[in-house]
């Protein structure tokens, strides 16, 4: 029988730290919807284990709150150390995305990404349109281009404040209405080489950790973005596209200028955004929330996704990914869970049969 507890939030993993043995996961401490604390323990079956699937941000955070992580990070917050591992929270990555505005003379149907163009240069080309379905839509959340639901990751942690969000919401009223009438050609970096890190802010699991993705920290990522923007502009300037949009063929500088004005993130813009494609990429980057890393295979978990240096603890989620292509990762994570489940089951059945 499987019991699923809804509205239950795990606070930390509980370990048996008997002298001379590797730390063994015993269960978890969690709180219910009323804030009451509980503990759930594994059975005596040696094959029972705790599996973490909290995602690229949640799993490194929970590991550190449970006492597994960089020694200095744990000591800073007076967390009792179970196991020192300097790689927990390291190698955090996200697929940076930039967009070029597509001018339209008429409103278009609302559409999110349906087709992905995979290029040889390491960028994906996609499209999104139709955020201007009503007069009020410019003041509302508008999907992947909405700063209120995720674009804080593009600025340094100290700038991610409630005041910044409120100021942005006010500024949004000055955005050109055309940006919500037409659409955007998006370019997204596949398998980014730039990486960052995750640090705890405090010991409260309900408070998000501080994450820095270091967008375009690697020069190759920046070069790929520039090539992607050039390709997007070329598509928009093509005869077939201008026949569809019913607009005059815009210059690249005009396209970039409109794109900067329509851009929705918290990064201050520069006067040379439309002159330097490199600066344009840095200033208009947004996230599409394909976070990965923080618990890499070979550094935090072994090839079977067991946490190194521990017993009865496994991680099955995107935090173990060293790279991500850039398309929706949900299918990858789902297949990963099914693969690991089948693999574990076969191993146990084989042992039970004496194979």
Considering the candidates 290, 292, 296, 305, report the single residue annotated as catalytic.
Answer: 290
Q: Are residues 279 and 312 in the same domain?
A: no
**Domains of the chain: total:** 2
Q: Are residues 156 and 251 in the same domain?
A: yes
Which pLDDT score is estimated for 133? 47
Q: Are residues 171 and 262 in the same domain?
A: yes
Give the position of tokens 């955005």. Answer: 175
Q: Are residues 222 and 321 in the same domain?
A: no
Instruction: Give the count of beta carbons closer than 10 Å to the beta carbon of residue 249.
Output: 12
Q: Are residues 135 and 241 in the same domain?
A: yes
Considering only 60-64, 248-252, 335-339, which range has the smallest mean pLDDT? 335-339
Q: Are residues 218 and 309 in the same domain?
A: no
Instruction: Give the count of beta carbons closer than 10 Å to the beta carbon of residue 286.
Output: 25
Q: Are 95 and 326 in contact (CB under 8 A)?
A: yes
Q: Are residues 316 and 254 in the same domain?
A: no
Q: Are residues 254 and 280 in the same domain?
A: yes
Q: Are residues 31 and 175 in the same domain?
A: no
CA distance 90 to 294: 5
Average pLDDT over residues 61-84: 97
What tens digit of pLDDT does each residue of 301-352 get?
A: 999 999 999 999 999 999 999 888 666 666 777 777 777 776 666 666 665 5
Read off φ and ψ for residue 63, nearest 5 degrees.
-60, -45
- Domain extent, residue 329, equals 9-89+295-353
Asked if residue 151 has pLDDT above 70, the reply is no
Instruction: Give the CATH number for residue 72.
Output: 3.50.50.60
Is 290 among the residues known to form the active site? Answer: yes
**Strand (E) positions, 50-113?**
50-52, 68-69, 83-84, 90-92, 97-102
Average pLDDT over residues 137-166: 63
What tens digit of pLDDT does each residue of 78-121 get?
A: 999 999 999 999 999 999 999 888 877 777 777 777 778 888 88
Q: Are residues 102 and 75 in the same domain?
A: no
* CA dihedral for 128, 132, 136, 138, sign (positive or negative): positive
Considering only 187-196, 252-261, 272-281, 343-352, which range has the smallest mean pLDDT? 343-352
CA distance 209 to 199: 6
Average confidence score pLDDT of the chain: 83
Residues whose CB is less than 8 angstroms from the CB of residue 178 and which lie 6 or more positions away in sequence, other chains included: 101, 103, 104, 258, 262
Q: Are residues 49 and 67 in the same domain?
A: yes
Q: Are residues 130 and 274 in the same domain?
A: yes
Asked if residue 166 has pLDDT above 60, the reply is yes
């Amino acid at each position: 029988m499987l019991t699923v507890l809804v509205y239950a939030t795990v606070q930390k993993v509980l370990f048996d730290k008997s002298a001379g043995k590797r730390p063994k996961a015993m269960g978890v401490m969690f709180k219910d919807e009323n804030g009451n604390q509980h503990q759930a323990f594994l059975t005596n079956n040696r094959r029972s284990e705790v599996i973490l699937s909290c995602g690229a941000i949640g799993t490194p955070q929970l590991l550190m709150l449970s006492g597994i992580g960089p020694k200095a990070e744990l000591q800073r917050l007076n967390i009792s150390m179970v196991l020192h591992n300097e790689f927990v929270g390291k190698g955090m990555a996200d697929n940076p995305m930039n967009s070029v505005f597509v001018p339209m003379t008429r409103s278009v149907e609302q559409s999110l990404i349906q087709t992905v163009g995979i290029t040889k240069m390491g960028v994906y080309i996609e499209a999104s349109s139709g955020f201007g379905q009503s007069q009020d839509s410019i003041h509302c959340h508008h999907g992947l281009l909405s700063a209120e639901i995720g674009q804080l990751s593009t600025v340094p942690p100290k700038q991610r404040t409630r005041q910044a969000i409120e100021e942005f919401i006010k500024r949004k009223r000055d955005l050109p209405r055309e940006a919500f009438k037409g659409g955007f050609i998006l370019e997204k970096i596949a398998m980014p080489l730039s990486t960052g890190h995750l640090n705890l802010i405090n010991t409260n699991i309900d408070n998000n950790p501080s994450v820095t993705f270091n967008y375009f920290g690697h020069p190759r990522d920046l070069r790929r973005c520039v090539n992607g923007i050039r390709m997007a502009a070329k598509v928009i300037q093509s005869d077939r596209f201008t026949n569809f949009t019913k607009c005059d063929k815009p210059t690249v500088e005009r396209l970039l200028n409109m794109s900067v004005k329509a851009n929705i993130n918290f990064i201050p813009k520069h006067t040379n955004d439309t002159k330097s494609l490199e600066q344009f990429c840095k200033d208009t980057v947004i996230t599409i929330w394909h976070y990965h890393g923080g618990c890499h295979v070979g550094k935090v978990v072994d090839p079977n996704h067991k946490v190194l240096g521990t017993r009865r603890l496994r991680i099955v989620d995107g935090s173990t990914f060293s790279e991500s292509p850039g398309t929706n990762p949900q299918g990858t994570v789902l297949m990963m869970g099914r693969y690991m489940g089948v693999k574990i089951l076969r191993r146990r059945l084989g042992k039970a049969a004496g194979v």
